[in-house]
Amino acid sequence: MAVRVQADDFDIGAEIAAMAAGRKDIGAIVTFSGLVRDMANGQPITTMALEHYPGMTEKALEKIEAEANKRWDLQASLIIHRYGPLDAGANIVLVATASPHRQAAFESAEFIMDYLKSRAPFWKKESGAAGGNWVDARDADETAINRWDQTSKA
């Protein structure tokens, strides 16, 4: 289990290799990477400023990761979330989960992403020719959490 909050970019291949290094018991690794899109609501975007709450962010991510490890049989998990100014096309987030079974790897990665979206203290300000705009939370992201049932503590 590992959580990193950083301004620097990450190398997905290197992270997966590190996760699997020296072990032969992993059956499945799922990764999710989120990137800055160059369009938002029909407006061109050149950069996205990612603000976060140092201290609380790490706690929130660790809590989400711990809950995923409690719910699924995971052999390894990783959450890397960037902050600061990011250009269109840049990496924002990497989630990786490893398990003996594919279903556990898929579900836990989705679970982590769903909780990251509306439970990790990050805020996005998109900037383009039209100026800057704070990204609104989407109802769909709040709804996505409900499918993991109401008993979750993450």
Partner 1 sequence: MQVLYFAWLRERIGIPKEQIETNAATVAELVEELRGREERYALAFSDMASVKVAVDQELVDMDAPLKDVREVAFFPPMTGG
List residues binding a copy of itself (CB under 8 A): 11-14, 16-17, 20, 23-39, 88-89, 100, 102-103, 105-106, 109-110, 113, 144
* 19 phi, psi to nearest 5 deg: -65, -35
Contacting partner 1 (CB under 8 A), which of 53, 90, 106, 152?
53
Q: Specify whether the CB–CB gap between 51 and 125 falls below 8 A.
A: yes
Interaction partner, residue 20 (a copy of itself, partner 1, none; CB < 5-8 Å by kind)? a copy of itself
Residue 107 Cα distances to 19, 37, 43, 97, 134, angstroms: 18, 25, 33, 9, 30
Which one among 44, 102, 103, 143 touches partner 1, defined by CB under 8 A? 102
> Does residue number 56 form part of the binding site for partner 1 (CB under 8 A)?
yes
Q: Which is nearer to a copy of itself, 59 or 123 (CB)?
A: 123
Q: Which stretch binds partner 1 (CB under 8 A): 8-16, 38-46, 70-78, 117-125?
A: 117-125
HEC profile of 103-131: HHHHHHHHHHHHHHHHHCCEEEEEEECCE
Give the whole-angstrom CA distance, residue 76 versus residue 105.
10
Q: Which does 18 bind (CB under 5 to 8 A by kind): partner 1, a copy of itself, none?
A: none
- Chain positions 20 to 39 lying near partner 1, rule: CB under 8 A, are 34
Among residues 109, 31, 14, which one has the least CA distance to residue 68? Answer: 109
Nearest-angstrom CA–CA distance, 55 and 113: 20
Please identify, using beta-carbon distances, which residue of 24 and 153 lies nearer to a copy of itself: 24
User: Which residues ranging from 121 to 140 are in contact with partner 1 (CB under 8 A)?
Assistant: 121-125, 134-138
